[in-house]
Amino acid sequence: MYKSITGKIFEELKHVTDKEYILTDEYNKDIYSKDNTEDLKYYPDVIIRPGSTSEISKILKIANFYKIPVTPRGGGTGLSGGSLPVFGGICLSLERMNKILEIDENNFQITAEPGVITEVLQSECEKRGLFYPVDPASKGSCFIGGNLAESSGGPRAVKYGTTKDYVLSIEVVLPSGEILNLGTNTLKNVSGYNLTQLIIGSEGTLGIITRITLRLTALPKFRKVALIAYDDIYKCISSVAEIFKQGLIPSALEFMERDAIKTAEEHLSKVYPNSDAEAQLLVEFDGNNEEVIFADIEKCALISEKYDAADVIMAEDTSKIEEIWSLRRAVGESVKNISVYMEEDTVVPRFRLPDLLIGVKEICTMYGIRAICYGHAGDGNLHINILKDGLSDDEWEFKTAKAIPEIFKLTVRLGGSISGEHGIGLTQKKYLNIAVQEKVILLMKEIKKIFDPNNILNPGKIFDL
């Protein structure tokens, strides 16, 4: 159904983007064949690194005409295989479009190209006392464009929301090569269907985002972190909802079970306090009044005492705060290093978290598999890493094929969904119908066809047409 890239098509592409930015060698094909999803690899036929919107428009016109699949790629840190070129074709890497175009200090807005690394964008804002709060774990290497494509979250979502809550306007190139301007740089806007939000989280299947304007807030002056240790994992997770019910609004509330902490400790070659506890919560408060923050942490500690917390330690200096956060950030990577794994990105209303955790543990016990759980407890987002450990390939295949749908069905029964922030991409599409009505999936497919009638843009993602 797709055409391969003939010499003639290649010549056309070289007219658009300087050949220096077109890669076809095996070394680079290997690099661009993977992201952070399991050990999956799909090789593109060619990697193109365009430098402007108009180049992208021309490339898409060519690809659309010849029916060549185009897979857009940001920092390559995705966890559901969104940037894997499953049908080969063109890997369209946005890495050269990495300029911050404007920081509007009067209106608290930033306009950037999609290839800006999220942490770079954040620190440019912070230098000016402005704050872009969305803080995905991969912020040091992921791109802001990829964040929009996946509607990335991260730990601060509990107070500040996710990527979708900060996008004012975008420029998008359609598979036809047409360039759209969606949204306005105002805080309010009701003018027809909200296509901006349709593009956000569409995982690169509807258009290529080429310019982004985000709203910002003022940078809070202070933050403090507490690490609360519990000897009972269920009491730990049950205390989460209570913290909110008492009127507290933490800027992050993260859950880590012992295996997650132990693995991260080993990864960092560092010992943290209370790491033998069955589970811990990392609680962060930010704001402009240090005493209020301290009082909030104190309240949090009192609540945790009711749930038999064993100890509460605190970090106030930047370096100590970072040290504790580095533990949390190391969890994801280190857990993925110990074994072949599958990661599920479940999300439920946070009051149902204990039910989810109990259910997941039961399902794992039933099938004899090990799972390490951690995640953004404050917003009900629990990452479940299922580990192959010593299982044979057949056992692994068989057990995960049974256990994962059960975990997802449980998630949906609890009022949640199968992906909080990683997206459906390639690896989760077979489960989409567990969480989304058939008619809704049908509508999504119709929308896809309107945007991309030839199905050239990131084919094989979210659903099969």
Partner 1 sequence: MKIVVCVSLVPDSTTKIKISDDGKSIDESGVTFIINPYDEYAVEESVQLKEKKGAETYAISFGTQKHKEAIKKAFQMGIDKGILIQTESDNYDSYTVAKNLAEAIKEINPDIIFFGKQSIDFDGLTVPGMVGELLGIPSVNVVTKIEYGDNLLTLEREIEGGKEVITTSIPAVIGTQKGLNTPRYPNLKSIMASKSKPIDEKKATYSGNATNVTEMKLPESKGKGKILTEGVKSVPELVNLLRNEAKVI
**Site of interaction with partner 1 (CB under 8 A):** 27, 226-227, 271, 273, 297-298, 301, 311-315, 317-320, 322
Residue 313: CB minimum distance to partner 1, A: 4
Q: How far is the CB of 311 from partner 1 (least distance, A)?
A: 5
Distance in Å, CB of 324 to partner 1, minimum = 8
Which one, 273 or 415, has the nearer CB to partner 1? 273
Cβ closer to partner 1: 95 or 452?
Answer: 95
Q: Name the minimum Å distance from CB 107 to partner 1.
A: 24
Tell me the angle at which helices 353-367 and 233-245 cross, rounded to the nearest 10 degrees.
Answer: 160
Please, which residue, 190 or 271, has the CB nearer to partner 1? 271
Q: Which is nearer to partner 1, 116 or 424 (CB)?
A: 116
Q: Which is nearer to partner 1, 191 or 318 (CB)?
A: 318
User: Could you give the residue ranges of the DSSP H alpha helices within 246-352?
Assistant: 258-268, 290-306, 318-338
Q: What is the DSSP letter of 185?
A: S
Strand partners for 347: 381, 417
Burial class (CB in 10 A: 0-12, 13-18, 19+), 370: middle
Closer to partner 1 by Cβ: residue 110 or 315: 315
Alpha helices in 40-140 (DSSP H): 53-66, 118-127
Decide whether 49 or 352 has the Cβ nearer to partner 1: 49
Residue ranges of alpha helices (H) inside 34-160 are: 53-66, 118-127, 144-150, 157-160
Q: What is the C-alpha separation between 156 and 136, in angstroms, rounded?
A: 9
Residues linked to residue 72 through DSSP beta bridges, in sequence order? 92
Least gap, CB of 122 to partner 1 (angstroms): 15
Q: What's the closest the beta carbon of residue 98 comes to partner 1, in angstroms?
A: 13
Minimum distance of partner 1 from residue 318's CB (angstroms): 5
DSSP string, 207-230: -EEEEEEEE-EEPPSEEEEEEEEE
Cα-to-chain-centroid distance, residue 147: 7
Burial status of residue 442 (CB atoms within 10 A of its CB: 0-12, 13-18, 19 or more): exposed
